[in-house]
Amino acid sequence: MRPRRALLYMPGNDWRKIEKAAALDVDAICMDLEDGVAPDKKEDARQMAARALAELDFGSSERLVRINPLGTDLAKHDLETILPAQPDGIVVPKAESAEQLLVLSAQIAAQESKEKPIALLAQIESALGLVEIKAIASAADRLQALIFGAEDYAADLGARRTPEADEVFFARSSVVAHAAANDLQAIDMLWTDFKDPDGLAASAAKGAQLGYSGMQIIHPNQIEIVQRAFTPTPEELTAAHRIVDAYEASLAEGKGVFALDGKMIDMPMVKAARRLLSRAQTNKS
Residues 126-141 have pLDDT tens digits of: 999 999 999 999 999 9
**66 and 169 within one domain:** yes
Residues 215 and 274 in one domain: no
- Domain-located, residue 117: yes
Q: What is the dihedral of CA 137, 133, 186, 246, to 10 degrees?
A: -70
Q: Are 216 and 261 members of one domain? A: no
At residue 114, the pLDDT reads 83
Average pLDDT of span 167-183: 97
Whether residues 206 and 270 share a domain: the answer is: no
- Residue 129: which residues within 8 A CB-CB, separation 6 or more? 94, 95, 96, 123, 136, 153
CA–CA–CA angle 119, 176, 96 (5° rounding): 60
- Would residue 46 count as lying in a domain? yes
98 with 239, same domain? no
Compute the average pLDDT of residues 75-85: 97
pLDDT class for 284, splitting at 50, 70, 90?
low
Q: What is the pLDDT of residue 285?
A: 59
Total number of domains in the chain:
2
- Same domain flag for 223 and 252: no
| Residue 225 shares a structural domain with residue 238 | no
Query: Is 266 annotated as catalytic?
Result: yes
- Is the pLDDT at 176 greater than 90, yes or no? yes
At which of 201, 229, 257 does a domain end?
A: 229
Averaged pLDDT, 76-102: 97
**CATH number for 57:** 3.20.20.60
Residue 190: pLDDT over 70: yes
> For residue range 223-259, what is the model confidence (pLDDT) as tens digits?
999 999 999 877 777 777 788 877 777 777 776 677 7
Considering the domain boundaries, does residue 259 fall inside one? yes
More confident residue, 168 or 262: 168
CB 258 within 8 A of CB 246: yes
Distance CA(36)–CA(126), nearest Å, equals 18
Q: Identify the pLDDT of residue 233.
A: 73
pLDDT at 14 over 90: yes
Segments forming the whole domain that contains residue 174: 6-229
pLDDT over 70 (residue 201): yes
Q: pLDDT, tens digit, for every residue of 28-70?
A: 999 999 999 999 999 999 999 999 999 999 999 999 999 999 9
Strand 28-32 and strand 6-11: pairing? parallel
With a pLDDT cut of 70, the percent of the chain lying above it is: 97
> Is the pLDDT assigned to residue 124 strictly greater than 70?
yes
Identify whether 92 is part of a domain.
Answer: yes
Domain boundary among 229, 252, 272: 229
Predicted confidence band of residue 76 (pLDDT cuts 50, 70, 90): very high
Segment 201-209 mean pLDDT: 97
Whether residues 141 and 252 share a domain: the answer is no
The answer to the question of residue 1 being in a domain is no
124 plus 238 within the same structural domain: no
Instruction: Choose, from 25, 166, 245, 266, the residue flagged as catalytic.
Output: 266
Residues 222 and 239 in one domain: no
